[in-house]
Amino acid sequence: MSSTETETDIILIGAGIMSATLGTLLKELAPDWKIRVFENLAKAGEESSNEWNNAGTGHAALCELNYTSEKEDGSIDINKAVKINEQFHVSMQFWSYLVNSKLIHNPQDFIRRFPHMSMVRGEENVAFLKKRFETMSNNPLFKEMEFSDDPEKLMEWIPLIMKDRSLDEAIAATKVDSGTDVNFGALTRMLFDNLEATNVDVQYKRSVENMKRASDGSWELKVKNNDNGSVEHHSAKFVFIGGGGGSLHLLQKSGIPESKHIGGFPVSGIFMACNNPEVIEQHHGKVYGKAKKGAPPMSVPHLDTRYINNKKSLLFGPFAGFSPNFLKTGSMFDLITSVKPNNVLTMLAAGAKEMPLTKYLIQQVMLSKEQRMEELREFMPSAKSEDWDLVVAGQRVQVIKDTDAGGKGTLQFGTEVITAEDGSLAALLGASPGASTAVHVMLDVLHRCFPEYMEEWEPKIKEMIPSYGESLMENPELLDDIHTSTSETLGLSQKEPVFS
Ligand SMILES: Cc1cc2nc3c(=O)[nH]c(=O)nc-3n(C[C@H](O)[C@H](O)[C@H](O)COP(=O)(O)OP(=O)(O)OC[C@H]3O[C@@H](n4cnc5c(N)ncnc54)[C@H](O)[C@@H]3O)c2cc1C
């Protein structure tokens, strides 16, 4: 049954945006290294990175209220927003480098400029938004932010949200014109096309089923050919587990001590997509609201202009829900088979702690289309049921682990890179802020797994990411230079996007 046996330098598991980014970085830094990719599906970018499976927001903390919090003394903590904004600038610089190097030909195929707005209702929320605006707009990273609680101005900014709205309730918004809509599916496919063109061996319909460490420290992977069921064995000195929701199972199979006491909590997503071109034309931007009490941060409602398949679209959501699958194309046994003797206590502790969240997610799954329309109407009072269809989005697997701050079985909402002590294996778990910060996260993988090469690679990294190693917030001149040059290169300088 088993025939093929190969050896290579690097194996990337999964053809999503994370493997695409790591593969591209490695090709630039170590062009001679042999890279092989195994992807379970027939194409790249078909799971969470696909354009219909995520919200396509270039997360730069320009509109997401959950990246800032109010401290006990009433001041606003913007540390997380600053970090995410700096990380998005890293992605923008790397993508610009790829355009300048002719590795990406038409950036408009994956990135478009759209205003990013936050919108709140009610006196208390408006007061919070104003205070937040005053803090953020004083920071060089957010200096373009505008605020308005004037209904006439808001009618200009968000006509669809203001239409048929009673003005009895206070309402306010902030706006940053230089926000982006990113088609991460298109970007993933472009990066994989480039990798294949530079002799990276990308094998589709190949499922990695197991892995073990060989006596020389390399990794041996058992890979199933999904077409004929045959099994192949491939080995590599370094393995990146970029399996999205599939990463936890693979990490557990590696058996490394770092894989223990970690669990996964799957959260599904549903969007509503507008099918009425007249309505779609009336909205322009990504407008993020406030999450409902008890709702997880990934269910912050937003009404987004998207640009998918050369067509302007309008999506609302995501509605979070519960499904035991870890991948959209996964199995209903994913959750149960991820429970192992080493993480059962962590999982049980999380189960007890997160009962209200689980209940909330199950209730969300049960919502009828009309109940979802009611939520949309809070955002857009004139929404008509016949104009909107349900679209199932991707799965996110949130990490559960034991932490000093949260105790046993604490649910994490961020991204976690887990590495073997000797740097021979890395896995990416979690999904937020996700694809937008892929370049920063993959640079972190390089630091942790290839420390001996970082000095040699530094000049090339600086060529690709001029702000590498510097804080843009503390260097406003560099920030302005980079903002101007990346906007020009990526075709984002014009205020109104060009629709071809
Ligand atoms: C509803 C939703 C909204 C989101 N919105 C945003 C957003 O607005 N902005 C943002 O930046 N991010 C967003 N994200 C997060 C973002 O989509 C993810 O962080 C990102 O796509 C993850 O990329 P990845 O490469 O790790 O995983 P994926 O794109 O899921 O790719 C993993 C690949 O691995 C393959 N695979 C898995 N197991 C195996 C195996 N055993 N063998 C071989 N192949 C395997 C899968 O088939 C898949 O192709 C959102 C996610 C969701 C679900």
Q: For 140-155, how does the pLDDT look when each residue is reduced to its tens digit (9 = 90+)?
A: 999 999 999 999 999 9
* pLDDT for res 498: 46
Q: Where are the beta strands (DSSP E) in 110-261?
A: 111-113, 116-121, 146-148, 171-176, 180-182, 201-203, 206-213, 219-225, 231-241
> How does the average pLDDT of the chain come out, rounded?
94
pTM of the model: 0.95
Pocket of ligand 1 (CB under 6 A): 13-19, 38-41, 46-49, 53-57, 59, 184, 207-208, 242-244, 246, 250, 269, 318, 393-396, 428, 431, 433-436
The average pLDDT across 335-363 equals 90
- Ligand 1 centroid distance, CA of 170 (Å): 38
Give residue limits of the domains in the chain.
261-414
CB 308 within 8 A of CB 364: no
**How many Å apart are CA 396 and CA 226, to the nearest integer?**
24
State in Å: Cα 48 to ligand 1 middle. 3
Is 319 a residue whose pLDDT tops 70? Answer: yes
> What distance in Å separates the CA atoms of residue 328 and residue 53, rounded to the nearest whole number?
9
Ligand 1: atom nearest CA of 244 is 27
Length of the chain: 500
37-72 burial, b if ≥16 CB within 10 A, otherwise e?
Answer: bbbbbeebbbbbbbbbbbbbbbbbbbbbbbbbeeee
Counting atoms of ligand 1 from 1, which one is nearest the CA of 38?
43
Residue pLDDT, tens place only, 436-466: 999 999 999 999 999 999 999 999 999 999 9
What pLDDT is attached to residue 500? 40
Q: In the predicted model, what is the mean pLDDT of residues 412-435?
A: 92
Task: Report CA-CA distances (Å) from 496 to 114, 177, 250.
Answer: 8, 9, 44
Nearest atom (ligand 1) to Cα of 437: 11
In this predicted structure, the answer to whether residue 1 has a pLDDT above a threshold of 80 is: no
Read off the pLDDT of residues 164-203 as tens digits, 9 standing for 90 and up: 999 889 999 999 999 999 999 999 999 999 999 999 999 9
Q: Which atom of ligand 1 is nearest to the CA of 47?
A: 30
Question: Per residue in 237-286, pLDDT tens?
Answer: 999 999 999 999 999 999 999 999 999 999 999 999 999 999 999 999 99
Place of tokens 């992977």: 221
pLDDT of residue 499: 45
Q: What is the pLDDT of residue 400?
A: 94
pLDDT band at 356 (very low <50, low <70, confident <90, very high): confident
